[in-house]
Amino acid sequence: MSKTIPPVNLKRQYETIAQELDTAVLEVLRSGHYIGGEVVTKFEQQFADYTGVSYSVSCNSGTDALYLALRALNIGEGDEVITSAFTFFATAEVISRVGAKPVFVDINSETFNLDVSQISAKITAKTKAIIPVHLFGLAVKMDSLMELAQKHNLFVIEDCAQATGGEWQGKKVGSMGDIGCFSFFPTKNLGTCGDGGAITTKDHEIAAKIRILKEHGSKQRYHHEYIGINSRLDTIQAAILQVKLRYLDQWNNQRREVATRYHQLLNNLSYLTLPQGLKGAKHTWNQYSILVEDLKSGDYTFRDEIRTKLLEKGVISMIYYPIPLHLQEVYQNLGYHLGDFPVTEKVARQVLSLPMFPDLTLEEQEKVVYTLKDCLS
């Protein structure tokens, strides 16, 4: 066992399927076809089948997936899009990139996901869509959200970046809204060896438009219908994803086992609140995020002190996300203030993500827990 326990160990994952990955990559290299082609098309179909939708369109990243989704739904200048105040910046960034206005909602303290009960109060005549984020791998309560969206005639774009393979009431994330957006960044549950993303939908017209937008707005070479972007999934990355997709359910199950062990080992420990599951949801545990109670005032928190002590003892933890979106410098023009979203702000001060990956051994996990207990004491 290494002295330092990382938050994710991608080298170990590679070693478990090295031969299959090497073969898949070498086949692409030997083919001489590095952009598009049958390998990419085959992965798109496999991912659509896995997710339970009719269409999957691959792209360069999860960020591009969200951007392309908004463009495909004609969301732009003067429109408003509702999303969580507690998520990675890209979720809001793409709303701004298309010229629309992000409207933030506070989160539920137990799930870290946007509080569906607070969405109605944010809907205006300008609202065009909702982007629910299945944060840390836990699905949003999609039945309630979809009912609300349909009542107000709003589009739903699922941000599935951290929840590939997750489910809500037996349905895969990315199959319930109008569009699902996925990231294949290396640290994700289904990660490639670089950047990558995909969009899922049951709507033929949406899929067709996204395919045009991601190729410079061109359906026929040198004939451009829209101002698009260049957003392709490289053939080598698609080949890698084909291999990894076969292991995704197994890896997600291993993550659930790791999470269960954390629950057992950390149960009733002072100063900590453990992450909750949700009845009806199949969690993928992209992160195992605890809350460390506030014991200090000002900018320096007890959470930060614990993280520093863990690092000194060889356990690397992560903080997602220390500055809520409504308090980001670039969004001060939206008029939000400290105190507007109290749950989000509290979680941002207290959240700490422990090492989480499928191959985390019991010995390593025990070291994480015993080291954490020592730091807390």
- Sequence spans of domains, the chain: 10-245, 249-376
pLDDT tens per residue across span 117-132: 999 999 999 999 999 9
Cβ atoms of residues 59 and 197 within 8 Å:
yes
Q: Give the right CATH number for 10-245 from 2.40.50.100, 3.40.50.11540, 3.40.640.10, 1.20.120.80.
A: 3.40.640.10
Residue 75 identity: I
Copy the structure tokens of residue 332: 């001060």
How much is the average pLDDT of 292-320? 90
Share of the chain above pLDDT 70, in %: 98
Q: 9, 2, 50: which is closest to 242 by C-alpha? A: 50
Q: What pLDDT score does 328 carry?
A: 98
The owner of tokens 């330092």 is: 4
Copy the structure tokens of residue 206: 């949406």
Residue ranges of the alpha helices (H) in the chain?
10-16, 18-31, 38-51, 62-72, 90-97, 142-151, 204-213, 235-245, 248-266, 302-312, 342-350, 362-376
The owner of tokens 């993280």 is: 307
What pTM does this model have? 0.96
Q: What pLDDT score does 1 carry?
A: 43
Q: What pLDDT score does 75 carry?
A: 98
C-alpha to C-alpha distance for 134 and 142, rounded to whole angstroms: 10
How much is the average pLDDT of 235-246? 98
Q: Residue 58: what are its φ and ψ, rounded to 5°?
A: -80, 155
pLDDT confidence of 299, banded at 50, 70, 90? low
C-alpha to C-alpha distance for 3 and 359, rounded to whole angstroms: 16
Q: What is the rounded end-to-end Cα distance, in angstroms, of the chain? A: 25
C-alpha to C-alpha distance for 285 and 71, rounded to whole angstroms: 30
Fold match flag (10-245 vs 249-376): no
How much is the average pLDDT of 252-268? 96
The answer, yes or no, to whether residue 248 has pLDDT greater than 90, is yes
Give the three-state DSSP class for 143: helix
Beta bridge partners of 353: 289, 318
Q: Which helix (H) or strand (E) holds 240?
A: helix 235-245
**Count of Cβ atoms closer than 10 Å to residue 193 Cβ:** 17
Give the three-state DSSP class for 156: strand
The owner of tokens 């082609």 is: 37
pLDDT confidence of 377, banded at 50, 70, 90? confident
How much is the average pLDDT of 90-108? 98
C-alpha to C-alpha distance for 248 and 94, rounded to whole angstroms: 28
C-alpha to C-alpha distance for 293 and 376, rounded to whole angstroms: 11
Question: Rounded mean pLDDT of the chain?
Answer: 96
Contacting residues for 117 by C-beta, under 8 A, at least 6 apart: none
Give the three-state DSSP class for 68: helix
Cβ burial of 344 (10 Å; 0-12, 13-18, 19+) is buried
Among 50-59, 60-69, 276-285, 290-299, the range scoring the smallest mean pLDDT is 290-299
Lateral strand order in the sheet of 272-273: 272-273, 288-292, 351-354
CATH of region 249-376: 3.90.1150.10
C-alpha to C-alpha distance for 91 and 153, rounded to whole angstroms: 21
301 vs 163, which has greater pLDDT? 163
pLDDT tens per residue across span 355-373: 999 999 999 999 999 999 9
Q: What pLDDT score does 298 carry?
A: 66
pLDDT tens per residue across span 211-224: 999 999 999 999 99
| Residue burial 233-248, b: 16+ Cβ < 10 Å; e: rest | bbbbbbbbbbbbbebb
Cβ atoms of residues 152 and 127 within 8 Å:
yes
C-alpha to C-alpha distance for 113 and 329, rounded to whole angstroms: 23
Cβ atoms of residues 159 and 81 within 8 Å:
no
The owner of tokens 């005639």 is: 153
